[in-house]
Structure 1
Amino acid sequence: MIDLYYWPTPNGRKVTILLEETGLPYRVVPLNIGRGDQFTEEFLKLNPNHRMPAIVDHDPTGGGAPIGIFESGAIMMYLAEKAGKFWPQTLREKYEVTQWVIWQMANQGPKLGECGHFRRLGDTQGDQSYAVRRFTDEANRLYGVLNNRLYDRRYIAGDEYSIADMISYPWSVGWKAQGQDISEFKYFKRWFDEMRARPAVERGMAVGADLSDDPAKLPPEELERRKKILYNQRARPAPEK
């Protein structure tokens, strides 16, 4: 059994899509990031970066003690290797997939996240027009990267569906909030529509749909507390020896 420390965000949904595609047994451990569950001492032992998702595999290949893994890209690689699916292990094919997994972690996820952040922020913290323009344009560039990649192949890493597709899809679902029009990217849109129609993708995207809080029902002081937790973090002091 795999314990998945999870909240329904794009980074969490990458992993639930893969788990649904592989059929590996898993249990969701809700980690309410607005409430601050990611900062508990118990979770920091699993992920010193205090971010979700993270997993604990209680039945690792080859036996032995449970294995804990954080960072969604590493989790995707681990689970795909464990299942023997969606991450080919021959040299050329393996690194064709791997480079796009890392592209998503280093480019698509962070830049689209910043795009959404500044577009939601509006003028509540002063003039954000440069940041909004900067990250909206970068989001557009990244959709163009995928569009150009997909014009002559069915999936991101070639003709075979892989973790490169699963890791990239959840972040692209928010294209409207990112200020984009995916009808401009016809090859990307063809891929997007195919991904959305996969039953396991639909199931993975739906995991935890009942967990999220409705911001409209939270008091102003709680909303302010959550903003500080999510957006104004600084270094956590190291323990004294």
Structure 2
Amino acid sequence: EWLATMPLVVGTLAEIVFQLLPFALLSLGFAGFYALLPATKVQWKAALVGGMVGGCLWQLNNLLSVLYVSRVVANNKVYGSLGMVPVVMIGLYFSWLILLFGAQVAYSFQNRRAYFQERQVESLDQHSREFIGLRIMVEVARRFLAGEKPVTGAALSELLGVPTGLAGKLLQALVSAQLLAENQQGEATYLPMRPLDKITCHDVLHALRSNQNGSVSTRDDAMREQVRGHYDRFQEVQKAAAGNVTLATLAAEASSPVKE
């Protein structure tokens, strides 16, 4: 009644605010739930997006339930108390569905880059994997040389602009080859496992190649040995070139300012 005594514009705005207030409160509540409850770090921006979706759907579900209950009360003589059973069962089902759907929206928003880059990873060739792995090693070495704190896999992924999953696989390959040391206290961080002048580019490339799922040998004939001889010579030339460049050299070049 007090809204009727207020000016038309103010009363209209106040009415709109009161109608939207449940949506806002539920959205904030869902956002807090999505941000604090999971046993992993959830960005507040992602939690707010999921909370807005979950909160709005929850309030719409409440409005539809109220509408249905009003119809049940009007037809109480026909259905009796059994008319409330579908409300409780369907309401419980949709409540859990909305809660989980909002959580999925928050997860998808936080990992949206990974979805867009997933197809790139599937079509990634070996040369690209080796180049990204070499960049990871150089960045870890550069930070170590500069005395900065160890870097995490997520930070490397963000810095280099590569998918988190791909960065994780390459890091594990480098750890398995004993080129990187992984500190698993809290969020995993990475440091060089050997002196930088003892790690060559060939070591990095060899670690990324030997991590693949084996190889298939061809039929043993004269042509096989001839091709094998040429292939081995190619590998020796590449090994000689890559073996002359150490990680210390690349890290020093990365730390120095770029000359225009």
Bin of the TM-score, shorter chain as denominator length: under 0.3
- TM-score, normalised to structure 2, is 0.25
- Answer with 1 or 2: which has the greater Rg: 2
The one of the two structures with greater contact order (alpha-carbon pairs below 8 A, sep at least 6) is 1
